[in-house]
Amino acid sequence: MSSSSDFQQDRHSFSGSPQKWTDFELPGDTLYYRFTSDMSNTEWGYKFTVTAGHLGRFQTGFEILKQMLSEERVIPHLPLAKIWEWQVGVACRQTGHQRLKAIHLLLKIVQCSSQGDCDFTLLKPLWQLFTHMENNSCHDTAKPGILLPLHRALTELFFVTENRVTELGSLQEYLLALNTEDHLHRCTAQ
């Protein structure tokens, strides 16, 4: 079982008796599974139960972290570098509303971070998603000027982050880290 169709992300493999199976969580809203029989028995296979996300996990963590980032007196006591790294990973793995909430928290962290709190270059996977969305929106003439919520959220995140790294004096390093060499060559040629 996996959260990706190529079975490379969040992969869980089980074989043998049901006692060897354990509960696990997958991020996102889609589960991919593959059943392969070795034909050694005439049993019917396996049965598993899928349950939608538990309110007490992602939502609770989101609310707690959002509240902590809203309290100015708490922020200096938070390990923002670790929270940033973790939250970027969450935003990359999640989909739908959970991804939007993760990006919302990233935005709050950027706004309250100080010199060296966050490694902004970790945003590269989200930058690639954003530039892909940008390229596709330019070609979508059916709905000109209308951005999807994720596109809007990423636009705001990268606008605020660019302003923040400019204030910190590290804009050039940030832009070089996010872009590929091929992209930089194309921009230079333009």
User: Lowest-pLDDT range, 22-26, 61-65, 132-136?
Assistant: 22-26
Mean pLDDT, rounded, for 34-54? 75
- The verdict on residue 170 lying in a domain is yes
- The verdict on residue 7 lying in a domain is no
Q: Helices marked H in the chain — which ranges?
A: 58-70, 80-93, 96-112, 124-139, 149-168, 171-178, 181-189
Confidence of residue 70 (pLDDT cuts 50, 70, 90): very high
41 class by beta-carbon count within 10 Å (0-12 exposed, 13-18 middle, 19+ buried): exposed
The count of residues in the chain is 190
In this prediction, residue 69 carries a pLDDT of 93
- The verdict on residue 24 lying in a domain is no
pLDDT at position 189 over 60:
yes
In this prediction, residue 151 carries a pLDDT of 92
Q: How many domains does the chain have?
A: 1
- Rounded CA-CA distance 111/7 in Å is 36
Whole-model pTM over 0.75: no
In this prediction, residue 16 carries a pLDDT of 74
- The verdict on residue 126 lying in a domain is yes
